[in-house]
Amino acid sequence: MHRIDTGSSSVVPPDEQSNQPTADLPEKTQIEFTPERREYLLEAVDGGLEFIIRESLKRNEGNSGVIYAIEISSFSKELTDALRELGLDFGASEKAMKVMKVYYPGDGEREYERHLAAYKMLQTAQGTLDIARVPQPYIFRDIELSEETAEKLCRDSGRLDRPNRAELFLMDYIEGDDLATLTYRKLLEVQPDSEAMLNKYGVRVKAGETVADTLRELDLKTLQLILFKEIGLEQRNDNMLPGSQQEQLLDRRNAKKILRQVGRSSRIKLNPLITTQVRNLLQVLHNNGLAHRDMHPRNVVITGDPFAVEPEAVPAQAYVIDFGSAQSFTGNYLDAREALYISPSGERRPDDDDIISFLTALEQRTEVSRLQGVTLAEYQAGQAESFIKTPAKKKRFEALNESLSKMFEVAAQQRTTAEYMYSQIRVVADAPERKALQFLASLAAIVDQVPDQASKAKAIIENLLDSSTLTAGEKGALEENLELFEK
C-alpha cells in the first residue's frame, strides 16, 4: 500500500478490493516531491475538502464528529487532480460514495490511526472468508477553516464554540444500516397489527407498499420514539454524554428489553453468519493488540438483510466502524482485559465481548446473563453522574441517602414506609421514571456502603411495587432493576 506521510496528515491510496480481504499488504513506498510541489498539492487538497464541508449536507453525527456522505463525482477537478498526483486515484471500479468524518481539533487523528491499524490487521487475515470488514480509510488532514466553513461546522455539530481548524478523514461509504436500526425495524414489523400501530404515530403505509417498506424510510430517532412508547425503551436525554456510565447502563437496559421482545417472536432470528463475522474480526484485532472498546449495535453496519436466513437471500456482510475509543495493548488480550475496560476510577468501557453476547442472543432468541450483569457498583456510579453534577445536587443526594438509610429496617417490612421513603424524592412532574431511577440510585449507594443491606433494599422495592400510586413508567424502571439487589 502506498502512503504519503505529511506530518500529522496522510494519504492512503485505495486497494483493489475483492469480496474478501486481500491476503497481504504491499510494502509502503514514498512518493517523492519537491517541497514546493508537495505544499501546492496539499493546499489544493485542503481547499477542496473544506469546500465539501461547506457545501455538503450532514448525514449523521458521531460521538465527536460530523459525518458527511459525498459523491466522488462532486469532487472539483483541482481536488481530483491533486489527489491523483499524490497517489489517490478513485478509478471507475471504486465505490462512488465516500464518508468524510469531520472533527474539532484533537479528536480525529487518534480515531484515524486506530481505524487504519484495524484495516491493516484485517488484510492479514489470510483465507478468512467469514469475517466482518472495516471500511477502507483513505486520507487524514488537519485543515484551516474559513469563518464561513467554521460557522457551518458549528451548526452541523450543534456546538457553540467555533473552531478555526478541523481534522477529517475520508473512508468508504457502506451501503447498509447499523444493527440497532435494523433490529428496531424488525421489532416494529412483527408487532401485532403493525400497520395500525404505525398509524397511531402518523406514519402511513402507502398503497402498494409493505410495512417493511415504510419502516425503511424512518430514521433511527423516529424508530426509537415509537419503540419507546410500544415496548418501553428508555430514551437518551440531552445531558447524557456519549460513552458515559449513564449511557452504557441505559444501552444495557434497552438491550435486555429488546431481547425479551425478540424471544417472544418466531419471526426474528439473526443470521448466525453475522455473529461469526464479528467474532472473527474481534479475534484478529485482539490477536494484534487492539481492542475496540465501543462495540454496540450502532457500530455494526450490515449490508443485506441480517434477519433473512433463507439460502436465496442476499448474503449479509457486517462492517465494524467508529474506532475513536479503540486502545492498543501489549501481551495477551485476556491478561489486558481489566486495564482495557475498567479505568483506575472504576468507570467501565463497553467490553468487546458484549456485542458477541448480544448477537448470540439475537441469533438464539434468548436473553444472556452477560447483558443482565449490571452490578450495583456500576449502577450507582452511572446514576450518580446525573444526580451529583453540582455541589448542591451532591449535597441533596447525600442527605437523601442518609435519611433513607435510617428507615431501612422498617421499610423492608412495611409498604407504607416504603411509599413514604419514595415520596421524599423530588423531581419535575413530567419525569416520573427519573424519580424511580433516583430512588434506585439512593438504594444502590446505601447498599454499596453496607452490602448486607441488599436483601432489605430488594424488599423495599417489592413493597413499593404493590403501591397503587406508581405510574407504569415508574413500575417498569423499578421492575427492570430489581435484580440488581439479588444477593
**Tens digits of per-residue pLDDT, 34-92?**
889 999 999 999 999 999 999 999 988 766 789 999 998 889 999 999 998 988 887 65
* Strands in 125-253 per DSSP E: 137-144, 165-172, 177-178
Instruction: Provide the terminal-to-terminal Cα distance of the chain, rounded to the nearest Å.
Output: 55
Q: Are 460 and 418 in contact (CB under 8 A)?
A: yes
Using a pLDDT cut of 70, give the percent of the chain over it: 76
Strand order in the sheet with 165-172: 4-6, 9-11, 137-144, 165-172, 97-103, 65-71, 58-61
Per-domain residue ranges for the chain? 4-173, 178-189+227-372, 389-485
How many whole angstroms separate alpha carbon 320 and alpha carbon 277?
Answer: 10
Distance CA 362, CA 356 (A): 10
Is this prediction's pTM over 0.75?
Answer: no
pLDDT at position 306:
92
DSSP codes of every residue in 103-161? E-TTSHHHHHHHHHHHHHHHHT-TT--S--B-PPEEEEEEEE--HHHHHHHHHHHT-SS
Lowest mean pLDDT among 72-76, 92-96, 264-268, 472-476: 92-96
Q: How many CB atoms lie within 10 A of CB 389?
A: 12
Q: What's the chain's average pLDDT?
A: 79
451: how many CB neighbours lie within 10 A of its CB?
Answer: 9
Distances (CA, A) of 256 to 137, 263, 330: 34, 11, 33
Spelled out in words, what is the top-level CATH class assigned to the domain 4-173? alpha beta
pLDDT at 121: 94
